[in-house]
Structure 1
């Protein structure tokens, strides 16, 4: 499950940039399949940071994660050399993910921690009701 959609990228960064980075020949349309793959890759990275603290998938998706996902995917749109602003947003997204993963930054959702301890025992063998 992707934490962001194509529409989120368009809203944040504009359709012109997405066309320029995904349609390398004519820059006349957005390659939605490519963007979908990049958003999926970015979401997998996010899951790697969240899996120790939150039950996944996160529904609804916190706004902070939508922005982080967009910044990670946008950076991946520049395979050779990302502009400084794109690189800085990517580095900030990574920093935020480290803080979320360590617990220093909370997402503000009431999602139980994944991997919590749950004790299970067998039924009583001896007792007043067991003869």
Structure 2
């Protein structure tokens, strides 16, 4: 399942940024390289599936808008590669997206996937029978 496509990246970050990040043949850069742009969202999809697959059945029936944003932020970071400054908005958005995905995988955050959430393991009950206590007043007399 694809969470973000080329047009999502263009809409969020602008064609100029994508041209600068992907055109490796023309000087000055003038076109968006579809192969390079396609690889980044595919990598982001793999990361997202790894996290949300713990809580949701994959593939999702509908892609929630929040996952499109997360995928776009991850893909943008992957396009920047090692050139991404640690203090830049690109790196901060990447770290925020990963943190959010970790919360989803732990069940702290839910996403609306228009489907069913798998049942949690466990769910049993605990029973206690107070009449069979070992330590009672009459058995501890004298201590």
> Aligned pair in 2 of structure 1 residues 29, 41: CA closer, same or farther (>3 Å)?
same
SS at match of 2:40: helix
Equivalent residue pairs, number: 117
Q: Deviations over 1:24-63 (max 9, x none)?
A: 3431111111111111110010000011111111121000
**Equivalent runs, 1:82-93 vs 2, <5 Å:** 82-83=84-85, 84-93=88-97
Q: For residue 63 of structure 1, what is the aligned residue in structure 2?
A: 65
Shift of 1:108: 2.3
Looking at CA atoms only, which structure, 1 or 2, has the larger radius of gyration?
2
Gaps of 5+ in 2: 122-143
Gaps of 5+ in 1: 118-131
SS at match of 1:79: helix
- Whether the aligned pair in 1 keeps the contact of 2:61 and 2:115 (CA below 8 Å) is no
Aligned-residue Cα RMSD (Å) equals: 1.7
**Equivalent runs, 1:114-125 vs 2, <5 Å:** 114=118
Shift of 1:114: 5.0
Q: Which runs of 4+ in 1 moved over 3 A?
A: 113-117
Distance in 2 of aligned mates of 1:85 and 1:29: 24
TM-score (norm. length: structure 2): 0.75
TM-score (norm. length: structure 1): 0.82
